[in-house]
Every structure is written in structure tokens, then in C-alpha cells.
Amino acid sequence: MAKPKRRYVCQACGSVATRWQGQCADCGEWNTLAEDAPQTVFSQKHDLSGGGRAIAFEPLDAPSERLIRRATGLAEFDRALGGGLVPGSAILMGGDPGIGKSTLLLQTAAAIARSGGEAVYISGEEATGQVRLRAERMGLADAPIRLAAATSVRDILTTLGTMAPPALLVIDSIQTMYSDQIEGAPGTVSQVRGCAFELIRYAKETGAALVLVGHVTKDGSIAGPRVLEHMVDVVMSFEGERSHQYRILRSLKNRFGPVDEIGVFAMEGAGLKEVGNPSLLFLSGREQPLAGSAVFPAMEGTRPVLVEVQALIVRLASGATPRRAVVGWDTGRMAMLLAVLEARCGLSFSSAEVYLNVAGGYRLTDPAADLAVAAALVSALADKPLPAQAVWFGEVSLAGEIRPVAHGAIRLREAAKLGFDQAFGPADAPGGAAPSRYSGLAMLPNLVDRIMGGA
């Protein structure tokens, strides 16, 4: 029959080991393994005499209830969610400390409460006075939110049981929650998992939309409970540089919608402001063309965003090892691009320090950024500014070809709309409205000739 087996769970990533180790083999954190409650291991042979119930199978096309979403009142939040809150769904909201998760959710709760919905905000981190003070500063003090400071899941569920289920239930944060049914301190994997399970069950049973705030570890994953990502319907991350104003709400997993839509906000004195048209947001003040700066029409889901890529190249006199630093782009990708520029175009970066920065604290993930980065690098190396009103996009292969990318037409349309009258991209020009001058570049050497020879 069943025999208990020792197991050790990493408190940082949730991975399970059968032996205690000083370092987690999965995430590499030290001293994070802790013994978990013994798990019952069922014997190989299945005993079916216990009498399970038969389950009914259903066809896929059986009539089902239509998914009704509730708008939060924050259009950017709705957009990132794929069109609003789904009743009974569970959302995990991750993000660095101080990025604005509590602010965003307080604003969302206030918007729902003001539109006549019931919104419950449970703060496990801040006292109600603190939350109230913040609400006052943001001009939300009159919103009829139900606010409480609590950490006991039993207390929270008991209280919720005495009232009509709310439209929105915010738990800020899941790592501070505590269940007396489970061993361990708040924040441990078993506590976080158990508390989340209870709360998600409440949401599913009552149709309340649940938002769990989750802290993020150094390496960027939502702390402790990676297991939580499997339990919830939607995983969102709230990102941005704390020194910059802009915040991007991204969905990393969404059982009810696409995962490539983003919401854009600006953190201001009175809370988060929605940025409906983020195209120009990430361009720095570009009065006169500077060497090493290229504009890239990036795609975020279905939305184009123009961003500026900046490169700086410093020639080294001595034989010191040159530095390479990248902010906002993939380091490996830049190394690859430098190698291709050296191998295919005969440019030499080996004795120079190379710095690459994406303006505005933006993080580029779009593969079409290659050409803009290459243009910025070549422009910096040659110390020649690129044409001021030009955009650059295309993927670069190891052979130095410039490959077509998705959504070319949308990128060009957005660039034209914002006054960019010149575009450089893959040889096959995308159709549709475009900047008046489009130059198709087949190979990376064509780009170098263009810049060196004066475009």
C-alpha cells in the first residue's frame, strides 16, 4: 500500500528533490531546499474495488455558455487581458517590487467599484491606512471599494462567505497569505500553493475574478511558486525600469485570449495613466540626427511601437579586452550580429567597446530588430548619422541575408503616420501604405554600403 517518502522542495522555484542538497539543481539558489510534507506514493497496482464514479464524456461542439467578460474600466488592462476580466478566472500578477502592481490593482478595483461592481481589495503587505492614503493621493478615496488588511485565508474566505461574491477580488500579495491548515511559514511553497488553491476554488465556485499579486525573484520568474503558474488561468507581468515612467503590462499565459497583447501605462504623481497610443513613447528627443541612433518599428502583439536603438562604439588604443554591454536587447543576439558584420561585411569591432541601448527602458524581443541594431552599429562605427526620418526593420541571418518579417505593412503604416518618410527593410517590400521611399536591402553589405556611402 501507500508508503510515505521524504521529499525536499526548493522554496525559490518549487522544484522537488528526493535528497537534501545545499544548492537547488534546478534554479541554482543556495539553501532553499526544505523538507515538505511526506507524499503518499500509491503502489503500482491500481486498486479499483473502492468504487469510483463513472464520468460522462462530452463532444467538443456541445453548446456551452458564452464567455462574458467584464471590462475593468482600464482599457489598457482590458487589452492585455484580451478583452476584460473573465468571471471565475484566476490571474497571477507578477512584477518587481515598487513597479506599481498595488497601484494598478487599486485603480482597477476603484474603477469596478465606481461602475457599480463589488470590488474587494485584501492587502497583506500594507496597513489599510497606507492604502487609504495612496487612494486619496490618486483621487480614488470616494470609490466604494471593500478594503481590508488580512493574511489569514480562513478569515478572508469566511468573510467572503457572508456576502455576495465580488466581481473582483484582489489578494496583495499571495506570498503574505497564510493558511492554518498547512504547515510552514507564509511564503513557503506549500503555503503559497495551498492558499492559492483555496482562493482559486472560491473564485471558480462563485464567479469572482481573482487577482493574486506575486513577487518576482532576481532572475525574473514569479517567486517561490512556479507551481502557481500552472494553477491560474492568466499570468501577467508588470514591467518597466523603475527609473523610467513607462510600465508595460504583458500577459505571459492566457487561457482566454492571446498572449502577445500589451497594456502601456505611465506612472505619474497621481497613479498610473493609460497610454493609448504608445508609438512615440520610446523615442528619445531626436531633434538632430546623431550617429549610432536608428528607429525601429517594433510590433507588440497587434500594435506597432516605434523605438530608438542607440549604439556607441569606443575604440581602444591598448590591447585591453573590450567591453560589450547591452540594455534592452539580447546580449547573445548582439554578439551574433557583430560576428556577422565582421565576417560578411569586413567591419572590425574586435578592438572596440560596443554599447547598445534601447531608449526609454523598453525591452526588445521582436526578431525584426536586427536590421535597426545593425544600422545603429554601422552608423556608430562610421560616425555617420542615419537619415533622420527613416525606420529600419528586418531579420539578419548568419549568412548576412536580410529576411522578411511579419507585419511589414503595419510597421510601415505606423512609421508613415508618425512622419517617417523613409524605410529600409527586406528586399521584398511589404504592400500597403508606406513611407514614400522604401529601400529593400537583400544583404547586410548593402546596408553597410548605404550607410558608408551616405544613404
Interface contacts to Mg ion, rule CB under 5 A: 102
Q: Is 270 in the site for ligand TYD (CB under 6 A)?
A: yes
The half-sphere exposure of 105 on its side-chain side, counting CA atoms within 13 A, is 31
Q: Is 99 in the site for ligand TYD (CB under 6 A)?
A: yes
The residue within the footprint of ligand TYD, chosen from 32, 102, 179, 221 (CB under 6 A), is 102
Q: How far is the CB of 192 from ligand TYD (least distance, A)?
A: 17
Of 271 and 425, the one with the shorter C-beta distance to ligand TYD is: 271
Q: Is 228 in the site for ligand TYD (CB under 6 A)?
A: no
Q: Which three cell numbers stand for residue 224?
A: 517561490
Q: How far is the CB of 362 from ligand TYD (least distance, A)?
A: 19
Size of site (CB under 6 A) for ligand TYD: 15
Of 25 and 270, the one with the shorter C-beta distance to ligand TYD is: 270
Query: Under a CB-based contact definition with an 8 Å cutoff, are residues 391 and 358 in contact?
Result: no
Binding site partner of 387, from ligand TYD, Mg ion, none, Cβ cut-off 5-8 A by kind = none
Distance CA 150, CA 155 (A): 8
Q: How far is the CB of 80 from ligand TYD (least distance, A)?
A: 16
Q: How far is the CB of 101 from Mg ion (least distance, A)?
A: 5
- Cα 28 to Cα 12, 94, 217, 364, 370, distances in angstroms: 9, 21, 13, 27, 32
Binding site partner of 138, from ligand TYD, Mg ion, none, Cβ cut-off 5-8 A by kind = ligand TYD
DSSP, res 383:
T
Of 249 and 306, the one with the shorter C-beta distance to ligand TYD is: 249
The residue within the footprint of ligand TYD, chosen from 7, 132, 134, 450 (CB under 6 A), is 134
Binding site partner of 103, from Mg ion, ligand TYD, none, Cβ cut-off 5-8 A by kind = ligand TYD
Binding site partner of 32, from ligand TYD, Mg ion, none, Cβ cut-off 5-8 A by kind = none
Q: Cell numbers 585591453 label which residue?
A: 320
Beta strands in 332-421 (DSSP E): 352-358, 390-392, 395-396, 402-403
The letter for the amino acid at 3 is K
Binding site partner of 169, from Mg ion, ligand TYD, none, Cβ cut-off 5-8 A by kind = none
Other beta carbons within 10 angstroms of residue 375's beta carbon come to 30
The residue within the footprint of ligand TYD, chosen from 124, 166, 271, 304 (CB under 6 A), is 271
Q: What are phi and psi of 247, to 5 degrees?
A: -130, 140
Pick from 325, 151, 172, 149: which is nearest to 238 by CA? 172
Q: Is 413 in the site for ligand TYD (CB under 6 A)?
A: no
Q: Is 258 in the site for ligand TYD (CB under 6 A)?
A: no
Q: How far is the CB of 71 from ligand TYD (least distance, A)?
A: 22
* DSSP bridge partners of 34: 9
Q: Is 117 in the site for ligand TYD (CB under 6 A)?
A: no
Pick from 394, 103, 84, 71: which is nearest to 240 by CA? 103
Q: Is 263 in the site for ligand TYD (CB under 6 A)?
A: no
Q: Is 140 in the site for ligand TYD (CB under 6 A)?
A: no
The letter for the amino acid at 237 is S
The residue within the footprint of ligand TYD, chosen from 28, 38, 98, 220 (CB under 6 A), is 98
Q: How far is the CB of 109 from Mg ion (least distance, A)?
A: 13
Pick from 117, 98, 308, 93: which is nearest to 207 by CA? 117
DSSP, res 419:
T
Q: Which three cell numbers stand for residue 454?
A: 551616405
Distance CA 352, CA 320 (A): 10
Q: Cell numbers 490593482 label which residue?
A: 105
The residue within the footprint of ligand TYD, chosen from 22, 50, 129, 269 (CB under 6 A), is 269
- Reduced to 3 states (helix: H, G, I; strand: E, B; else coil), residue 207 is coil
Q: How far is the CB of 134 from ligand TYD (least distance, A)?
A: 5
Three-point CA angle 304, 106, 215, nearest 5°? 75
Footprint of ligand TYD (CB under 6 A): 95, 97-103, 134, 137-138, 267, 269-271
